[in-house]
Amino acid sequence: MKAYDHFYINGEWVSPVTARMQDVVNPATEQAIGQVALGSAADVEKAVAAARAAFETWSQTSVEERLALLERIITLYSERMEEMTQAISSEMGAPIRLARNSQAPIGLVHFKTVRKVLQSYDFEESLAGSQLVKEPVGVCGFITPWNWPMNQIACKVAPALACGCTMVLKPSELAPISANLFAQIMHDAGVPPGVFNMVNGDGPGVGAALTAHPDVDMVSLTGSTRAGIQVSKAAADTVKRVALELGGKSPNIILEDADFDAAVAAGAAECFRNTGQSCNAPTRMLVPARLHDRAVEIAKATAEETIAGDPQSKQTVIGPLANSAQFSKVQSMIQAAIDEGSELVAGGVGRPEGLERGYFVKATVFANVKNDMLVAREEVFGPVLAIMPYQDEDEAVAIANESPYGLAGYVQSGDIEHARAIARKIRAGTIFLNGNNFDPNAPFGGYKQSGNGREWGSFAFHDFLELKGIVGYNPPA
């Protein structure tokens, strides 16, 4: 059983100031597969000091130097892709196909996208008689979750490096194996000491200290809305920049002119993907009232065909939930929805048949759901679908927007212009038309309580740059 008992600070693997160990549990077996050291404010102090010192030189590097570093990271990440795949699958239960095809590669995708953006990004431009200069914001604190570990780490670290920032990463203490491998890749790629630092730990011990630290210039969190509120309050005392990617309850509007059967099946499968542990999952399926029963029939069949089991099996569609707390939460929310009177048509409480151990949960479908029901209002973060009937498109849009969240939305239609017209009416940061068409160049982030700021592509650069107007600058003729 491996111990992840060192932090990466100032270009070295160092021991915690005070050692406090926690088991790393494989959610498929409920067995400890390692231990991780949990840091403290004293470790954060060391890491921030290293990042602050390194900022003086890294912020002055050329685009060519930063591109060369990104290139080395991309090469080494590619070489260790299968190792990253296995790390993610073992620590958070992703089925091996999902880990190999999506979870691990998505980190590489973000680095490649940032490399392309940096090649032509304008850090200076003329504005009449003045000059606009975009400069790195400073030392950044990153707090990332366990559900898509490399996605969230890479889409923060890559643009921050490209913009000339230095950083301290606090990955999820529940998924530290992939983060430790990532830190080793950064070290082997020759990231200068202090530019990238990583301190493992929990929210109270490390996250709070990082957020409140006066020498941290910006904080970027991916997590729950509750956590986002706490981070915003803690950051307010030092007036630091805060970027938040938070919860979601994404609507999936299936229009009359869609390929209905295919759209329902695909929408249900996307809801169940990653065992429902995606903040942009299409968990509210809105269907024409006259087709509601047909939608229920298809979604029920899809749920029953969604095989839960050993993440290492190629036949497995969904693995376990990532940890015991998430398992308890999802089970209790399914039971609460049943108690509230929601119509259960597939799945429900308890483990799938034949699985007596592991944090496995049934793919679950509720029908005839109203927007004031718990299963429509609250983010379950499990494979739980709510099917909601609507009378006309205006009602569908109203239902979609009647939520405190606004991270994503989905629209299914046989007419792309029809789909785009509906998409413009949905108050959410990303709208997927006719499926989850992942685009790392498009902005990702939310409206309302789903957060602020945008990640991915060139849009990620904004939060890591300060704008300086040099007034009176006269460019040469």
In a 3-state reduction of DSSP, which class is residue 356? coil
Task: Report pLDDT for 142.
Answer: 98
**Residue 450 contacts residue 406 (beta carbons within 8 Å):** yes
Residues of the chain with CATH 3.40.309.10: 251-440
What's the token pair of residue 314?
């190629």
Fold of 251-440: Aldehyde Dehydrogenase; Chain A, domain 2 (3.40.309)
Q: Which residue type, as a one-letter code, is found at position 189?
A: A
Torsion of CA 99, 100, 102, 104, to 10 degrees: 80
DSSP code of residue 385:
E
**Residue 38 contacts residue 150 (beta carbons within 8 Å):** no
φ/ψ (deg, to 5) at 222: -115, 120
Fold of 2-246+450-470: Aldehyde Dehydrogenase; Chain A, domain 1 (3.40.605)
- Catalytic, out of 173, 279, 379, 455: 279
Q: Please state the separation of Cα 267 from the chain's center in Å.
A: 20
Helix axes 149-163, 176-188, angle to 10 degrees: 30
Q: 279 catalytic, yes or no?
A: yes
Tallying the residues shown for the chain, one arrives at: 477
Tell me the CA distances in angstroms from 117 to 120, 174, 218, 237, 441, one per residue in order: 6, 32, 22, 34, 9
Task: Report pLDDT for 129.
Answer: 82
φ/ψ (deg, to 5) at 398: -65, -40
Task: Report pLDDT for 476.
Answer: 59
First to last CA, the chain: 67
Residues of the chain with CATH 3.40.605.10: 2-246+450-470
**In the sheet that 465-470 helps form, which strands lie side by side, from edge to edge?**
124-127, 130-136, 465-470
Contact residues for 4 (Cβ-Cβ < 8 A; gap 6+): 24, 34, 35, 36, 37, 176, 177, 180, 200
| Per-residue pLDDT tens digits of the chain, which is 477 residues long | 899 999 999 999 999 999 899 999 999 999 999 999 999 999 999 999 999 999 999 999 999 999 999 999 999 999 999 999 999 999 999 999 999 999 999 999 999 999 999 999 999 999 888 999 999 999 999 999 999 999 999 999 999 999 999 999 999 999 999 999 999 999 999 999 999 999 999 999 999 999 999 999 999 999 999 999 999 999 999 999 999 999 999 999 999 999 999 999 999 999 999 999 999 999 999 999 999 999 999 999 999 999 999 999 999 999 999 999 999 999 999 999 999 999 999 999 999 999 999 999 999 999 999 999 999 999 999 999 999 999 999 999 999 999 999 999 999 999 999 999 999 999 999 999 998 789 999 999 999 999 999 999 999 999 999 999 999 866 656
Q: What is the largest CA-CA distance in the chain?
A: 77
**Residue 387 contacts residue 212 (beta carbons within 8 Å):** no
Task: Report pLDDT for 93.
Answer: 98
Q: Which residue type, as a one-letter code, is found at position 115?
A: R
**Residue 200 contacts residue 170 (beta carbons within 8 Å):** yes
What's the predicted TM-score (pTM) here? 0.96
Q: Which residue type, as a one-letter code, is found at position 139?
A: V
**Residue 212 contacts residue 143 (beta carbons within 8 Å):** no
- Catalytic, out of 245, 270, 379, 455: 245
Look up tokens 């590097």; give the residue.
61
